[in-house]
């Protein structure tokens, strides 16, 4: 099992550009999450999904959109990147016993 994978690992964007981060899990988990982590802070929830075709807002959803067209994939989109979105982004999925499994992260820099 690969667990949770994220693509890409690194990306540099210019202000106003768009991009999509892809998260994939092979554990058949219903719940999936997107977090951002900034220096000195814990993880903050951006959006999450409780199953295929569903999405919900987390703590910091502004400037991001998500889609869960397939159970194994959860996409995070930035339509018009801003320097404030420079961060490390983590995807996670949750098992039936409430444990979350994390991907390796995507380091995004917006200049």
Residues contributing to the site for other proteins (CB under 8 A): 4, 31, 33, 35, 40-45, 48, 50, 58-59, 90, 92, 97-105
Q: How far is the CB of 88 from other proteins (least distance, A)?
A: 9
Identity of the residue, 73 or 100, whose beta carbon is nearer to other proteins in the bound complex: 100
Q: How far is the CB of 100 from other proteins (least distance, A)?
A: 6
CA atoms within 13 A on the CB side of 59: 9
Identity of the residue, 24 or 43, whose beta carbon is nearer to other proteins in the bound complex: 43
Report d(CA 27, CA 77) in Å as an integer. Answer: 23
Q: How far is the CB of 62 from other proteins (least distance, A)?
A: 15
Q: Where are the beta strands (DSSP E) in the chain?
A: 4-7, 10-13, 19-25, 31-37, 43-49, 56-57, 65-67, 73-78, 87-94, 100-102, 106-110
Identity of the residue, 16 or 53, whose beta carbon is nearer to other proteins in the bound complex: 53
Q: How far is the CB of 80 from other proteins (least distance, A)?
A: 26
Question: Beta 31-37 vs 87-94: how paired, if at all?
Answer: antiparallel
Identity of the residue, 12 or 50, whose beta carbon is nearer to other proteins in the bound complex: 50
Rg (CA), the chain: 13
């Amino acid at each position: 099992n690969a667990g949770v994978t994220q693509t890409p690992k690194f990306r540099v964007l210019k202000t106003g550009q768009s991009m999509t981060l892809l998260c994939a899990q092979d554990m058949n988990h219903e719940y999936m999450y997107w977090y951002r982590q900034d220096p000195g802070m814990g993880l903050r929830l951006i959006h999450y999904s409780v199953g295929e075709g569903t999405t919900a807002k987390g703590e910091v959803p502004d400037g991001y959109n998500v889609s869960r067209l397939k159970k194994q994939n959860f996409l995070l989109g930035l339509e018009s990147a801003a320097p404030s979105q420079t961060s490390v982004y983590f995807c996670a999925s949750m098992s039936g016993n409430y444990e979350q499994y994390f991907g390796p992260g995507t380091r995004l820099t917006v200049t």
